[in-house]
Amino acid sequence: MFKINKIISNSKILYQDKNIIYIAKGYRIFKSYNDGVTWEFEGKVVDKKYSFLSIFSRLLNRLLRIEISNMYILEDGSRVVIAKKGIFVAKPKSRKYVKTFNVIRGNKPMNICIDNDGMIFFGEYFLNGKFKDLDRSEVHIYKSEDNAQSWNICYTFPKNTIRHIHGIFYDKYTNMIWITTGDSNSECMIANTSNAFKSINIVKSGYQKYRAVTLLFYKDYIVYGTDTEHEQNYIYMFFRKDNEEKCLQTLQGSVLTATQFGNMAALSTAVEPSKVNNHMYAHIWFSKNGLEWEDIYHAKKDKWSFKYFQFGRILFPHNAITENEITFTGHSLEGIDNKTIICRKF
């Protein structure tokens, strides 16, 4: 169905919009208007320490988790990226990505959510008592109403409620915002809010099968892959009308990333070794409707340590799927680490 059409070395694709592609090379961002034939400098993340360290070695970047992980373009033309220890914003026509939020707990949030009114949200993602068996701290959700220039807490999960927030997502069908959390059974939650986090409604909770990172939205149902090292991972769906759930597909590993274009969707499994998940390949699963899934690509974990140089993953940019393409970047995978892959239909 798809075959590799182009490989762009030493790059991580962040965002694509019609004929424009944005990639990161360390803390510098470039864009192309001609499918990667030529590139122009777009901007640089302003962070003296990590920007300096990012130029030396790919392995050092992996060891220290120095990377730009997400990019978002706002209606006013501002660009927002998540990078180590912060959220950075370039105002319209500026090439400087300046830190507007300093991450104190953890490395960085997993994603940013932008709703239909332009409000921006993210949730805290940090270890939160994992190694010392401590009580869980409270966990915050932050909101910006001024194009990511300032941030305020809009909701707090009380102590010993959850470990951290996996993701926050806007649902265009209901104008709701959904939240996914983890990690132990009691901390696994799929919830939503219809009032910008004045309150939340818990839809699924209490088991590892509700430990999700990303959600895929359809008119009548919601689909997700599980993210657990304790059990077999699957793709699940549940109907909006009554929350009845169905298991759709067995997976090789945890799902950390997913992407969607209309009814088409793709998700990827990570190489995250455990007693249950011992598969050494990251896979891409593709669906035309969210219900029937096909394994279309896989790549092997590279030789470097899981602990120090990260799990093997396949990362999708914003707008990773179009009618004719799937685009992604390999991470800690043999032959495609830090390479952008463009696959075309055949």
Does pLDDT of 54 surpass 70? yes
Beta bridge partners of 271: 312
| Average pLDDT of span 175-191 | 96
Beta bridge partners of 156: 140
Q: Please report the pLDDT score of residue 345 as a whole number.
A: 78
| Average pLDDT of span 42-50 | 95
CATH fold, domain 2-345, is Methylamine Dehydrogenase; Chain H (2.130.10)
* 328 Ramachandran zone, left/alpha/beta (phi>0; psi -120 to 50): beta
Q: Please report the pLDDT score of residue 130 as a whole number.
A: 66
Residue 277 confidence class, pLDDT cut points 50, 70, 90: confident
Residue 255 confidence class, pLDDT cut points 50, 70, 90: very high
Q: Please report the pLDDT score of residue 344 as a whole number.
A: 87
Q: Please report the pLDDT score of residue 1 as a whole number.
A: 74
DSSP string, 111-170: --EE-TTS-EEEE-----STTTTPPPPPEEEEEESSTTS--EEEEEEPTTT-SEEEEEEE
Burial status of residue 34 (CB atoms within 10 A of its CB: 0-12, 13-18, 19 or more): exposed
DSSP state of 46: -
